């Protein structure tokens, strides 16, 4: 386990590894005891809330394009068209998570999660920052986590010196 050498990158890396570790044992649990989306939302605290607080300047600010969405694995999910770049999206998602402005949508009485909505209640009770198909949220998290770490390595190399 050890101490953190570079907190921002180590915490993001460990959070991504935690998701992978859980996925590797998920099959051992009955369906009713699989809490993969609970874990994923908890991990968002480590992936977008904490790094934003410590390293906001290193958030990637690239424009959100169809090609970027494809690289993220985003096909059925959507981002609010008012949000033009990844940095703004991450900050908006951060506010949604930090203020518990999430809705879990089920389209039928099975209560399986069909969509996870991130809301900005300050902009209105129905202002949707992003609406994720559950499997695509995991893909987005992995994409963003890797990109965040790459940005830190590229633009803050001092933190990686011994």
Q: What is the pTM of this model?
A: 0.83
The domain spans of the chain are 7-160
Whether 158 has a pLDDT exceeding 80, the answer reads no
Q: Where do we find the tokens 């699989």?
A: 34
CA distance readout (Å), 155 to 65, 90, 101, 143: 23, 18, 32, 18
pLDDT (tens digit per residue) in 42-75: 888 878 877 655 666 767 678 999 999 999 999 9
Mean pLDDT of 132-152: 87
Q: What is the pLDDT of residue 110?
A: 83
């Amino acid at each position: 386990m050890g101490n953190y050498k570079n907190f921002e990158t180590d915490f993001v890396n460990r959070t991504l590894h935690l998701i992978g570790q859980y996925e590797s044992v998920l099959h051992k649990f009955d369906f009713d005891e699989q809490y993969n989306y609970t874990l994923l939302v908890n991990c968002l605290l480590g992936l977008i809330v904490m790094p934003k607080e410590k390293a906001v300047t290193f958030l990637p600010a690239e424009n959100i394009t169809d090609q970027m969405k494809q690289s993220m694995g985003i096909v059925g999910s959507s981002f609010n068209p008012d949000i033009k770049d990844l940095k703004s999206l991450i900050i908006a998602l951060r506010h949604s998570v930090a203020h518990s402005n999430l809705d879990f949508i089920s389209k039928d009485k099975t209560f399986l999660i069909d969509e996870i909505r991130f809301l900005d209640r300050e902009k209105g009770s129905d202002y949707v920052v992003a609406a994720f198909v559950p499997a695509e949220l995991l893909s987005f998290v992995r994409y963003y986590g890797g990109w965040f770490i790459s940005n830190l390595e590229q633009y803050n190399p001092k933190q990686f010196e011994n």
